Amino acid sequence: MSKLQELIKELCPDGVEFKKLEEVCEIFSGKNKQKKEQGKYPVYGSTGIIAYCDNYQYDKEQLLIARVGANAGFIHIANGKYDVSDNTLIVDVIGTCNSIYIYYVLVNSNINRYSKGGGQPLVTASDIKKIEIPLPPLEIQNEIVRILDTFTSHTAELQAELQARKEQYEYYRNKLLTFDENDERVKWMTLGEVSVNVCSGGTPSTSNKKYYQGHIPWLRTQEVDWKDVFYTKIKISEDAIKNSSAKIIPPNCVIVAMYGATAGKTCINKIPLTTNQACCNLEINKDIALYKYVYYWLYKEYYKLKALGEGSQSNISGKKIKSYAIPIPPLSEQQRIVSILDKFESLVNDLSEGLPAEITVVQEQYEYYRNKLLTFKRKS
């Protein structure tokens, strides 16, 4: 029998008491208005530290819950001397409770299900206060925290190792794709010159629902995010193609997002598909360049390419993408570079193998045991 089972059998064999969160915690909003101050004390917001201020309001461990916005319901822990923004709820544990135990219980409760509103989700203190939580004796709380901390600590170690590998990957990618200007084997060309076709797509009229009831994949810029594309969320019909600028492109095109939040990002379509007009689709001439080599070059150049954007959304024109310069070494050298970078890519981004897969397994185990450990018989 495990230590936890022994404690439960000894201290609460008939079940545990459940209480509303407001009975064991004080719950209120932060007050910092996020003024543009430059101080030494962090200001915590919806996702962590968002600013620094001259004066701190708190000097104790407290739980913070994002109150408003896309992250409404997100929970994290604040320590040391700090202040809290007014878009964040403070959960101050009072009495003889382990605050980290309360944290795990709230995470397990999936607080964002309490969010209200449409465009601006909102979590209210009144709703949070009414959440019922199991309160076993402190010894049991401490043992549960010890077990779950083991999982979170292991995940943090794996994440740190993954980050180190990503930095190593970026180093070698930059090194492999940096060429001596006197290297006669390397010819500088434009993306337009290494492509047999460069095109954008189109958006069929949204007023015709039948256009969006077909089987032809239609890629939007929000789906362009450094990956191979085998699937698109939206499918369109053949009539939609006939009556719009959308056009089918062959597999293995290098697709660059021109507008919006993903401007400058790239993906590769592994299936024939169509795109919206905000995608610049490069069908690479295989006699000149490998499409994966072009992809890696654009990955390396992301920030430079993105900086070419104009307007409030930093939109990049197809003309600028088409005229963007790329070094072209012999195909054999391109293949060598691609082979090396493919291995790094698998190590840091492939969810089916390596560290990403291990992190996924540990995270699933953590969630399973968290739910199991925090499920108690209610004391009658």
206 and 91 both lie in a single domain: no
- pLDDT range class, residue 345, cuts 50, 70, 90: confident
Whether pLDDT at 230 is above 80: yes
- pLDDT range class, residue 119, cuts 50, 70, 90: low
- Residue 193, in any domain of the structure: yes
Q: Indicate which CATH number applies to the domain containing 278.
A: 3.90.220.20
236 and 316 both lie in a single domain: yes
124 and 229 both lie in a single domain: no
128 and 211 both lie in a single domain: no
More confident residue, 159 or 191: 191
Return the structure tokens found at 171. Answer: 């180093």
Which residues constitute the domain of residue 202? 187-328
What pLDDT is stored for residue 189 in this prediction?
97
25-29, 94-98, 141-145, 216-220: lowest mean pLDDT where? 94-98
Q: Are 15 and 377 in contact (CB under 8 A)?
A: yes
More confident residue, 120 or 276: 276
Q: Are 316 and 308 in contact (CB under 8 A)?
A: yes
39 and 105 both lie in a single domain: yes
246 and 129 both lie in a single domain: no
Q: Hey, which bits of 39-181 come out as E strands?
A: 41-44, 49-53, 62-66, 75-78, 83-84, 88-93, 132-135
More confident residue, 118 or 71: 71
Whether pLDDT at 76 is above 60: yes
Say how many C-beta atoms besides its own lie within 10 A of residue 285's C-beta: 14
- Residue 61, in any domain of the structure: yes
54-66: pLDDT as tens digits: 889 999 999 999 8
| 3-state DSSP assignment of residue 106 | helix
Q: Are 18 and 133 in contact (CB under 8 A)?
A: yes
99 and 198 both lie in a single domain: no
23-27, 182-186, 193-197, 356-360: lowest mean pLDDT where? 356-360
211 and 310 both lie in a single domain: yes
312 and 215 both lie in a single domain: yes
Whether pLDDT at 89 is above 70: yes
313-334: pLDDT as tens digits: 779 999 999 999 999 999 999 9
φ/ψ bin of 157: left (φ > 0), alpha (ψ from -120 to 50), beta (otherwise): alpha
- Residue 368, in any domain of the structure: no
CA distances from 284 to 194, 199, 293, 313, 376 (A): 6, 12, 10, 28, 59
- Residue 73, in any domain of the structure: yes
Return the structure tokens found at 260. Answer: 């919006």
- Total domains in the chain come to 2
d(CA 228, CA 359): 21
What pLDDT is stored for residue 287 in this prediction?
97
Where a domain ends, among 282, 307, 328? 328
- Residue 258, in any domain of the structure: yes
d(CA 366, CA 374): 12
What pLDDT is stored for residue 81 in this prediction?
94
Give the β-pairing of 195-199 and 279-284.
antiparallel
Beta bridge mates, 284: 195
- pLDDT range class, residue 35, cuts 50, 70, 90: low
Where a domain ends, among 328, 354, 373? 328
92 and 192 both lie in a single domain: no
354-373 vs 138-176: helix crossing angle, rounded to 10: 170
- pLDDT range class, residue 67, cuts 50, 70, 90: confident
214 and 313 both lie in a single domain: yes
